[in-house]
Amino acid sequence: MALRSDNVTKGSERAPNRSLFYAMGYTKEELERPLIGVVSAHSEIVPGHYHLDKIADAVKAGIRMAGGTPILIPAIGVCDGIAMGHIGMKYSLASRELICDSVETMTMAHQLDGLVLVPNCDKIVPGMVMAAVRMNVPAIVCSGGPMLAGRYDGEEVSLSKLFEAVGAYKAGIIDECKLTECETGACPGCGSCAGMYTANSMNCLCEAIGIALPGNGTIPAVSSKRTMLAKHAGMAIMKLVEQNICARDIINQKSIENALACDMALGCSSNSVLHLLAIANEAGVELDLNLFNKMSEKVPNLCHLAPAGPTHIQDLDMAGGIPAVQAELLKKGLIDPTALTVTTKTVGENVEGAYIKDTKSIRPIDDPYSATGGIQILWGNIANNGCVVKRSAVAPEMLKHSGRARVFDSEEEAIAAIYSGKIVDGDVVVIRYEGPKGGPGMREMLNPTSALAGMKLDKTVALITDGRFSGASRGASIGHVSPEAADGGNIALIEEGDTIEIDIPGASINVLVSDEVLAERRAAYVAPEPKIKSGWLARYAKLVSSADKGAIMKS
């Protein structure tokens, strides 16, 4: 069969191209096989990626076993935890676009026949998937797997507990000794942080959408099964190349709706909304925020993994993983079993025989945590184009809340007020100018939400922002407010002391100010200077779309 790589390996006119392969030690025999890019985000700065060299080696072994020639290609990746709470977080979401563009660049420039994508953490997974769908090449995701849960105070914990411990320390609830105990016990080794945060959400949703093998989202990083999975991924890509099954054959309207259903059942990170919108855009699939709510209305929430509950990804894996969740959803016809996956089988075929092995981690479809899904979209005069909350991580008493607005124009201002005890029961913290354009980069707000939780205010205080929240955030944390403040959104017009009314079940969020008063404020409004005026983030701010469109780069 004709291969894309024939453009660089076949014919007398390609002798110069072949000579450059020979300069690296490739043989004639290797160049006669399909050339498979193994795109690895291995680095020594991201714990989720620290071991990806081993995963990539296993993938390469699988490719060779199945008759292909693996070619290792690097990719960047930001550790959101290390980047949290300072200027570094401005680069995290924006890096998704760099990753997508760089994978496209390396694949097209060298005419690779297929890709095995080896990411793990937050923006790297969607960035790589976006590239595969954009180019429509045979591709499969093989992530590095989740970190095991740590131990603190005799309980299983993950990174979110440590962020909350900082708030508890600032409030005098725990001492420095207990903070150190949590600091040294929360993250016991390599892998993506152990809760249903953004990284694990996207790795699970890669399974749900069909672009990854079963087990991709849940097999622990340190398990030998993860190495086996990587070898099988290497073998599987060769079958995809042979049958010319490309990314858009797998990622389409049908599979994206399957992913949305699993998102609701799992209680994934609110960031999954941004990433699914961006992936759908690359796939040419119409997707808007209304579909998220329609799916939430009919798909029950079956899992309460950290930070929503005490269980972690390793527990989800032992309970049957994503196939068990999909099997439950199939009982009610909530996913389409005919969707094709990278196994070259359908979803229905993949999950045949799957079942729940532990109802503490996965609830049966007839006994869910809630009849509605884990994600809710809200609309109102604060967010005319919508905003997002991880409903499954909100305490019942905060599903409806009315309180006094406490307004801050940056994360730093807000966190200083929280740490100094200026935020009290009933308040609604508003953090603006942190959106895709205004941040720029739409920073995650894990420090403020965790501080509130650690201070025992997560059941009495809400937080609203045009930035984002980490998957590790819990409480009434409402993000992605669109339009954002820097783009003329009404969040810029909220004043200190205004009353804000939140109704999550009713999908509404409003500042109780008349249209006339808002119009007067808008007439007097003066936009602040951009926070970043140089470097590629300044270019990003000029080109990025709003959050309700996935914060994608406008062409």
Structure-token pair, residue 208: 């749900």
User: Which of 40, 95, 272, 470 is the catalytic position?
Assistant: 470
User: Which SS3 state, helix, strand or coil, does residue 500 take?
Assistant: strand
Nearest to 187 by CA among 360, 40, 46: 46
User: 433 near 411, Cβ under 8 Å?
Assistant: no
Of all residues in the chain, what percent are helix, strand and coil, respectively (each to 5)? Answer: 45, 15, 45
Listed residue (104, 102, 96, 89) closest to 126, CA to CA: 96
Separation between Cα atoms, residue 405 and residue 502, nearest integer Å: 12
Tokens of 124: 């790297």
Nearest by Cα to 265 from 132, 415, 128, 391: 391
Residue 348 CB burial class (10 angstroms; 0-12, 13-18, ≥19): middle
Nearest to 163 by CA among 547, 502, 475: 475
Structure tokens at 243: 């049958």
List the structure tokens of 157: 């914990």
CA–CA distance, 261 with 529 (Å, rounded to integer) = 41
> What backbone phi and psi angles, to 5 degrees, belong to 205?
-70, -25
Type of residue found at 217: G
Enumerate residues 6+ apart whose C-beta is below 8 A from 539.
none
Catalytic, 224? Answer no
Count Cβ atoms within 10 A of the Cβ of residue 444 and give its class: 0-12 exposed, 13-18 middle, 19 or more buried. buried
Please give the positions annotated as active site.
Answer: 470
